[in-house]
Structure formats: C-alpha cells, structure tokens
Amino acid sequence: MAATDWYAHKSLENGVFWIQERFYESGNRANIWLIRGSHQDVVIDTGLGLRSLPEYIQEKSLLGDDAKRKNPLLAIGTHVHFDHSGGLHQFQQVGVHKAEVDALANGDNFETVTWLSDREIVEVPSPGWRARQYRVKAVTPTHILQEGDVINLGDRQLSVLHMPGHSRGSICLHDKESKMLFSGDVVYDGSMIDWLPYSRISDYIHSCERLVEMVDKEEIDQVMPGHYNTFGGKRLHRLASNYIASAGTCHRASTSVVKSIASLALRASNSRSAC
C-alpha cells in the first residue's frame, strides 16, 4: 500500500494540518499534527510508522515550496508510546523529552507499550504483514527536550511543557500567541490513562493542576489532543478538574492492580523477538 493511501489529512486554520492513519481502526489511533512555520515546520507525533509519513507529506505538498524553509522537517514525539512514536525513525530530526530518550534510542518496546492486534489494522500495509511483527524502531533523538524549551518556527514558537503522569516524558507544546495547546496524551476528550508501567498518579495530578491554571489565566483557547477531536479551554478545564477530583485513595488502589497486570502482559508480549 502506498503512503498516499495509508494516510488522510484535513487542513485547519493557521497552517495546521490534521493527519490520521486511515486503516488503523482503534481507540489508540493517534492524531498527527503538522504545523507550518516561516523557517521551520514541525510534525507532532507520527503514528505507527507502517507507511512513510514524510513521503505522504511530500506527495500531498503539505509543506509548499517556500525556499525559506531551509531546515528539515522536525518530528516531535509528545511521548514514546508506540501509537505516537512508531514513525519517528523516518525523520532526519527527532525530538522527545529527555526522560524518554533512552527508551526510544534503545527500541524499548516495553516502555513504548507496544501492543497491536491484527484486527485493528483493517487493510494490511504490505503483503503478509502481521501485528506480531510490529515493533517501534530505535532512533537516536537529535533534539533532547525539557521544560521551558522553545521550538522556533520563525513566525511562531512552541513552548515545551513537561507534563508527566501518563508517561514520565509526556509533553505538551503550547503556541502562546494563538493560545493553542498540542496536548498529546496528557489530556484528550476521553478517560485519562494512568495505569501504564511508567504512569504516576501524583505527577498526573500536578500536570492537571497546571492545565487548570493555564485555562484560568486564559492561556489556552483550543486543544489539539493526541486522540479524538479538538476542544476548547472550558472543556479542558473540566477534564483536568475531574481527574484531580477522582484521583483519590480508591482510584489509586484500583489503578495499582491494573498497572501490575498491564506490566506483566506487556513484558510477556514484548519478550518475543521481532520477526
């Protein structure tokens, strides 16, 4: 299957494109965001990487032909979970938070929580493809990100916000001028996942408190999440506040059990050698 068939996109306002993998039908299907700048373009998250995302972007002319863009496209992972990081190896420039650099560089499919089934791929990307063969390919990041870093696109800047909880290296990217937040899996319009091997509820609470504060300060008008649809600041405030309110003793106890089971299952699943 050609890359042009595997992906689809929509053009949004302010030079932002929303890209998805058409034949990955799962709640884990991640949103891929492409942001054009006057001197640098950025893709935020890269999906599974089963077909070439750079090829799709080029074939669809999503970057235009502006000669001022002298820098190669920068691919940033909001975190290294497989549904977001699988295509990072396809890019010359790759950025992730410093806490997850080693996991990506080592191809650690436990920390990337690689878990894919045949039924989720409704049309195989190549003859004979099977989900059991799938692994996140190792890549050494060229950009090691941390809290406070600014990604300069020329006419717009993206501030790196370290927001752990879902994973230890989860980040959001904040366009302060447009009040737009690219939130990864820190928050989306669904149940927040805090039971994975490197999830931590106390960190998640703190991250949600930061989000509530940002909304209260009117710093966020629109959220471009890692999954599902976009939403506004009021919805973000409610989602973050609800998580804080629900993360009590009972939640922590039940989550601990689920986390143990998930960790064992992931260890077993990813002990296999890639075919």
How far is the C-alpha of 214 from the C-alpha of 236, rounded, in Å? 10
- Please state the rounded mean pLDDT for residues 263-267: 89
Q: Residue 118 above 90 pLDDT?
A: yes
Cα–Cα distances in angstroms (integers) from residue 194 to residues 58, 167, 262, in the given order: 36, 8, 11
- CATH number of this structure's domain 3-271, picked from the four choices 1.20.120.1200, 3.60.15.10, 3.55.40.20, 3.30.70.20: 3.60.15.10
Q: What pTM did the predictor assign?
A: 0.93
Sign of CA dihedral 29, 27, 9, 96: negative
Residue 29: HSE in the Cβ half-sphere, 13 Å Cα cutoff? 18
Q: Are 231 and 220 in contact (CB under 8 A)?
A: no
- Tokens read off for 158: 């993206």
Residue whose pair of structure tokens reads 């989306």 in the numeric block: 188
Identify the pLDDT of residue 137. Answer: 97
% of the chain at pLDDT higher than 90: 87
The 10s digit of each residue's pLDDT in 19-46 is 999 999 999 999 999 999 999 999 999 9
Confidence of residue 68 (pLDDT cuts 50, 70, 90): low
Identify the pLDDT of residue 275. Answer: 33
Burial environment of residue 64 by CB neighbours within 10 A (0 to 12, 13 to 18, 19 or more): exposed
Listed in order, strand segments (DSSP E) in the chain are: 7-11, 16-21, 32-35, 42-44, 74-76, 93-97, 143-145, 150-152, 157-162, 171-175, 180-184, 222-225, 231-232
Q: Residue 181 above 70 pLDDT?
A: yes
Confidence of residue 11 (pLDDT cuts 50, 70, 90): very high
The 10s digit of each residue's pLDDT in 183-234 is 999 999 999 999 999 999 999 999 999 999 999 999 999 999 999 999 999 9
Domain ranges of the chain: 3-271
Q: In this structure, are strands 74-76 and 93-97 parallel, antiparallel, or unpaired?
A: parallel
- Tokens read off for 274: 């890639």
Identify the pLDDT of residue 70. Answer: 63
DSSP code per residue over 148-163: T-EEE-SS-EEEEEE-
CA dihedral of 24, 92, 74, 120, whole degrees rounded to 10: 10
Higher pLDDT, 48 or 265: 48
Type of residue found at 254: S
Q: At 34, phi and psi to the nearest 5? A: -110, 125
How far is the C-alpha of 45 from the C-alpha of 79, rounded, in Å? 8
Identify the pLDDT of residue 274. Answer: 42
Identify the pLDDT of residue 71. Answer: 77
- Please state the rounded mean pLDDT for residues 99-116: 96
Identify the pLDDT of residue 273. Answer: 39
Identify the pLDDT of residue 178. Answer: 95
Identify the pLDDT of residue 139. Answer: 97
The 10s digit of each residue's pLDDT in 225-260 is 999 999 999 999 999 999 999 998 899 999 999 989
